[in-house]
Amino acid sequence: MSQYYNPNRKSNLYDKDSIQTFRLSRSRIDSFINCPRCFYLDRKLGVAQPPGYPFSLNSAVDKLLKKEFDIHRAKGTKHPLMEKYGIDAVPLVHEKIEEWRDSLRAGITFKVKDSNVVVTGGVDDMWVNPKGEFIVVDYKATSKEAEVTLDADWQIGYKRQMEIYQWLFRKNGFKVSKTGYFVYCNGKTDRKAFDGKLEFDIKIIPYKGDTSWVEKTIQDAIDCLKSDKLPEPGEDCDYCKYRKAVKEYEK
């Protein structure tokens, strides 16, 4: 991955005077919440955090789940998991479903008034209930002995992710259910042998979103980018702590 890392990027930078559209993704909004300084360094100055390695196994699970739910989308039927958890909905049929899934080139978008900023997000799936309400669905994959939940502190990022998607769809004029769902796949490690096959327990976890924070946070992020002053680091930002510790030895 390091051969692709550019610590002095010149493209995709925010310029308040530019007429060019600036895409502010769901993940970058989360970055701003976690650490305004790292967000500013990345989106304004072109100094991004070093990239992590891709989660290829998670991507494979996402791809297979999409194929599986698409079978029922084409038939207009419920997936067996939806039946199992008593979810009165079916996979949404819509001409833009693939566009909304494409987070890199398209996604669901909304232009912020009086700015050149377009907020973007790429969903894993959308369902629809008999009321015509859209339901945001996110796929997650892990492997742990305990049953999967949404109770860990770090999973607040998952919840914010869903809430931003709900906000985006409402801003596009769609009726959106307050309740979204996480389709959570947990890899089993209690088998006697691997045998070249990894099996999963799959659980659907409902989550009632609260989007009241989204609009103000987006505006705060834009105001941060408009400033000529480097913001304070996030309280628990490991990157900022690392840079501070290194500076003590570089003086």
Amino acid, res. 97: I
Any idea where the domains of the chain sit in the sequence?
A: 2-230
pLDDT bin (cut points 50, 70, 90) of residue 145 is: confident
Judged against a pLDDT cut of 50, whether residue 113 lies above it is answered with: yes
Separation in Å, CA 80 to CA 89, 136, 139, 177, 216:
11, 18, 16, 21, 39
pLDDT at 182: 97
Judged against a pLDDT cut of 70, whether residue 3 lies above it is answered with: no
Query: How far is residue 201's CA from residue 141's CA, in Å, rounded to a whole number?
Result: 10
Q: pLDDT exceeding 90 applies to what percent of the chain?
A: 73
Judged against a pLDDT cut of 60, whether residue 2 lies above it is answered with: no
Map tokens 């400033």 to a residue. Answer: 227
Mean pLDDT in residue range 147-164: 93
pLDDT bin (cut points 50, 70, 90) of residue 165 is: very high
Higher pLDDT pick, 84 / 199: 84
Residue-wise pLDDT tens digits, 186-231: 888 887 777 777 788 899 999 999 999 999 999 999 999 999 999 9
pLDDT at 13: 93
Mean pLDDT in residue range 173-179: 98
Judged against a pLDDT cut of 60, whether residue 66 lies above it is answered with: yes
Query: How far is residue 190's CA from residue 213's CA, in Å, rounded to a whole number?
Result: 41
Map tokens 């479903």 to a residue. Answer: 97
132: Cα within 13 Å, side-chain hemisphere: 3
Query: How far is residue 102's CA from residue 122's CA, in Å, rounded to a whole number?
Result: 6
Name residues whose C-beta falls within 8 Å of residue 104's C-beta, 6 or more positions apart in sequence: 122
Confirm if 156 and 186 have CB atoms less than 8 A apart.
no
Other beta carbons less than 10 A from residue 55's beta carbon: 11
On average, the pLDDT of the chain sits at 92
Higher pLDDT pick, 104 / 140: 140
* pTM, full prediction: 0.92
Q: What CATH number should be reported for the domain whose range is 2-230?
A: 3.90.320
